[in-house]
């Protein structure tokens, strides 16, 4: 059972100013918390070898496996609208890349693996809370069918990390289509390094968007994927919480599970993040924030879009403006499916809008209300039944015009509306248990979330009791 990782690295062939080459910093006493065996196999890795001492040492950063090319990537980014010209992997190391079972290139990155030249004032470490949170949420997102980075493993370090209190440290192995962000482009754009922007654009075209012929095509493709991604978040009540440009991944995966949350009670202005005082990244603002982030990306690409700057600006502006329609179409298709409709009619947005307004006013649970619509007692989902009595006949008339028939419509709803989501209070509970050394609730929660459209255990679908409700989430870095 020797550990063999078939690395096939490409990022390290980019110019030296794209990264700092360094190995992870070893930890005192690594021990495996969780290993994602199906994902390991998909990556062509042997789960048993990863779980053996040699594998755990590699996942903790105590040894560098053969063929790895460890490096910290540099990037910049707009954080809450303010530009930081120098960020980068301050607590993460890219070990290298492998080709998965579909031939797709995937990054293997250790997060919480020690300081790098980009750590600024940070210690380069992570405590167990955010590591387990990211593990749970990213894997739940994947099970929901939404593009996301994945969690291959979580390892405890045997060291403590000080975040106000002394807390147990951990390292996450994150898998991503790549870790190139809007902020990676911004880093070079801020330095007027057009040659680097060109190299980076070519790199992401080759790796993610081979159909794109040039920078304008790349911009279109990235906008397309972001529009769809954000619509998918909206459809499951996900609030990213830190939609900074350094957390906007070019390949279109959900990345950086910091203070994110799945909403319990629906409200478009819902915010969980403790650092988002202004509600910049509230649930309902996510599409417009994505546009803002994509406009930053477009700006970086301008020097590659031809010698006529005015024409380039016009082309880029058009592309960014297309987001609204792309997102709107994706959103409407998803929300139609949420109420059982596979066909399209002009009044659908209004029908869905009336439902959402009532849900907001009545503080309905986002997940359970949609799920209830396909059940026996849909009216009970609304504290004020008057609403349902006036809305349901219109909905039923629309379902009749859709024509697919109730069994098919119900099946569509049941595979679109999850029964279980990673509820904040559950996530907090499993983290508290893990800190005490009990990982069983963490494993159980992951197991339930792996099949989110089946209601295996109704307890996991329950919204928080008032005393369990989590009102704020924290970056916890
Ligand atoms: P985030 O808020 O997680 O997107 O991180 C923003 C920036 O802060 C990134 O450059 C991170 O690498 C860096 N950072 C966050 N936490 C730490 C830490 N504990 N040590 C070093 N750098 C960190
Ligand atoms: Mg980040």
- Pocket lining: 89 vs ligand 1, CB cutoff 6 Å: yes
Q: What is the pLDDT of residues 189-223, one digit of tens each?
A: 999 999 999 999 999 999 999 999 999 999 999 99
Nearest CA to ligand 1 atom 12: 90
- Separation CA 255–CA 237 (nearest Å): 16
Asked if 448 and 158 touch (Cβ cutoff 8 Å), the reply is: no
Q: Is the pLDDT of residue 477 over 80?
A: no
Which residues are CB-contacts of 198 (< 8 A; sequence separation ≥ 6)? 304
CA geometry: angle 197, 19, 90, nearest 5 deg: 115
Residue 429: what pLDDT? Answer: 97
Active site residue ranges:
246
Residue 476: what pLDDT? Answer: 67
Q: What is the pLDDT of residues 229-284, one digit of tens each?
A: 999 999 999 999 999 999 999 999 999 999 999 999 999 999 999 999 999 999 99
Ligand nearest to the CA of 181: 2
pLDDT band at 472 (very low <50, low <70, confident <90, very high): confident
Q: Is the pLDDT of residue 390 over 80?
A: yes
Q: What is the pLDDT of residues 7-42, one digit of tens each?
A: 999 999 999 999 999 999 999 999 999 999 999 999
Distance of CA 152 to the CA centre of its chain: 15
pTM, entire model: 0.98
Residue 451: what pLDDT? Answer: 97
- Separation CA 62–CA 55 (nearest Å): 10
Residue 2: what pLDDT? Answer: 85
3-state helix, strand, coil in the chain (%, to 5): 45, 15, 40
At which residue do the structure tokens 């009749």 appear? 400
The Å distance, Cα 165 to ligand 2 centre, comes to: 23
At which residue do the structure tokens 């477009």 appear? 298
Neighbours of 12 (CB within 10 A): 16
The Å distance, Cα 415 to ligand 2 centre, comes to: 31
Helices 385-402 + 348-361 axis angle, to 10 = 160
At which residue do the structure tokens 């070019």 appear? 250
Residue 456: what pLDDT? Answer: 75
Angstrom CA distances, 71 to 158, 422, 462, stand at 24, 32, 43
Q: Which of 71, 89, 91 to mutate to test the pocket of ligand 1 (most atoms within 8 A of CB)?
A: 91
Residue 471: what pLDDT? Answer: 86
Nearest CA to ligand 1 atom 11: 90
Burial class of 311 by CB neighbour count within 10 A (0 to 12, 13 to 18, 19+): exposed
Alpha-carbon dihedral 163, 27, 258, 51, rounded to 10 degrees: -140
- Separation CA 203–CA 375 (nearest Å): 48
362, two tokens: 């009545």
Burial class of 167 by CB neighbour count within 10 A (0 to 12, 13 to 18, 19+): middle
At which residue do the structure tokens 């309905």 appear? 364
Nearest CA to ligand 1 atom 7: 87
Distance of CA 243 to the CA centre of its chain: 10
pLDDT band at 455 (very low <50, low <70, confident <90, very high): confident
At residue 394, the 3 state secondary structure works out as helix
- Separation CA 440–CA 166 (nearest Å): 23
Burial class of 123 by CB neighbour count within 10 A (0 to 12, 13 to 18, 19+): middle
Asked if 273 and 241 touch (Cβ cutoff 8 Å), the reply is: yes
Percent of the chain with pLDDT over 90: 97
Asked if 156 and 168 touch (Cβ cutoff 8 Å), the reply is: yes
pLDDT band at 474 (very low <50, low <70, confident <90, very high): confident
DSSP for 293-334, written as a single string? HHHHHHHHHGGGS-S-HHHHHHHHHHHHHHHHHHHHHHHHHH
- Pocket lining: 232 vs ligand 1, CB cutoff 6 Å: no
pLDDT band at 177 (very low <50, low <70, confident <90, very high): very high
Q: Write out the H or E segment, with its range, that includes residue 408.
A: helix 406-416
The Å distance, Cα 89 to ligand 1 centre, comes to: 7
- Pocket lining: 258 vs ligand 1, CB cutoff 6 Å: yes
Q: What is the mean pLDDT of the chain?
A: 97
E strands along 321-370, which residues? none
- Separation CA 426–CA 464 (nearest Å): 8
């Amino acid at each position: 059972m020797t550990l063999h990782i078939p690395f096939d690295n490409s990022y390290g062939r980019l110019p030296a100013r794209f990264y700092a080459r360094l190995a992870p910093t070893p930890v005192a006493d690594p021990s495996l918390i969780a290993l994602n065996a199906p994902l390991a196999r998909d990556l062509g890795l042997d789960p048993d070898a990863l779980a053996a001492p040699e594998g755990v040492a590699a996942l903790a950063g105590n040894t560098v496996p053969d063929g790895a090319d460890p490096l910290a990537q540099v990037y910049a980014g707009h954080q809450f609208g303010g530009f930081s010209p120098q960020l980068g992997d301050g607590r993460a190391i890219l070990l290298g890349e492998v080709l998965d079972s579909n031939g797709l290139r995937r990054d293997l990155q250790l997060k919480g693996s020690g300081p790098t030249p980009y750590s600024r004032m940070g210690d380069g470490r992570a405590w167990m809370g955010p590591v387990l949170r990211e593990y749970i949420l990213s894997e739940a997102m994947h099970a929901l069918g939404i593009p996301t980075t994945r969690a291959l493993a979580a390892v405890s370090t045997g060291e403590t990390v000080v975040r106000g209190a002394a807390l147990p440290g951990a390292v996450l192995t994150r898998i991503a289509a790549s870790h190139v962000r809007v902020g990676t482009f911004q880093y070079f754009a801020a330095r007027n390094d057009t040659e680097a922007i060109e190299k980076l654009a070519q790199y992401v075209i080759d790796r993610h968007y081979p159909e794109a012929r040039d920078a304008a095509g790349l911009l279109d493709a990235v906008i397309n994927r972001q529009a769809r991604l954000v619509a998918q978040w909206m459809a499951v009540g996900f609030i990213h919480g830190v939609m900074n440009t350094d957390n906007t991944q070019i390949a279109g995966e959900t990345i950086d599970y910091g203070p994110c949350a799945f909403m319990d009670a629906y409200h478009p202005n819902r915010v969980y993040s403790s650092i988002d005082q202004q509600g910049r990244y509230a649930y309902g603002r996510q599409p417009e924030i994505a546009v803002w982030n994509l406009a930053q990306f477009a700006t970086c690409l301008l020097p590659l879009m031809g010698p006529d700057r005015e024409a380039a600006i016009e082309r880029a502006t058009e592309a960014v403006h297309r987001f609204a329609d792309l997102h709107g179409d994706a959103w409407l298709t998803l929300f139609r499916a949420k109420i059982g409709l596979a066909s399209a009619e002009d009044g659908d947005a209004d029908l869905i809008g009336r439902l959402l307004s009532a849900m907001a006013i009545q503080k309905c649970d986002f997940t359970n209300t949609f799920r209830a619509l396909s059940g026996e007692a849909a009216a009970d989902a609304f504290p004020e039944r008057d609403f349902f009595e006036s809305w349901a006949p219109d909905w039923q008339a629309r379902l009749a015009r859709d024509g697919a028939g109730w069994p098919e419509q119900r099946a569509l709803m049941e595979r679109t509306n999850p029964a279980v989501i990673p509820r904040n209070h559950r996530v907090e509970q499993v983290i508290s248990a893990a800190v005490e050394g009990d990982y069983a609730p963490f494993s159980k929660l992951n197991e339930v979330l792996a099949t989110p459209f089946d209601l295996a255990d109704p307890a996991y679908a329950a919204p928080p009791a008032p005393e369990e409700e989590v009102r704020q989430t924290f970056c916890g870095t």
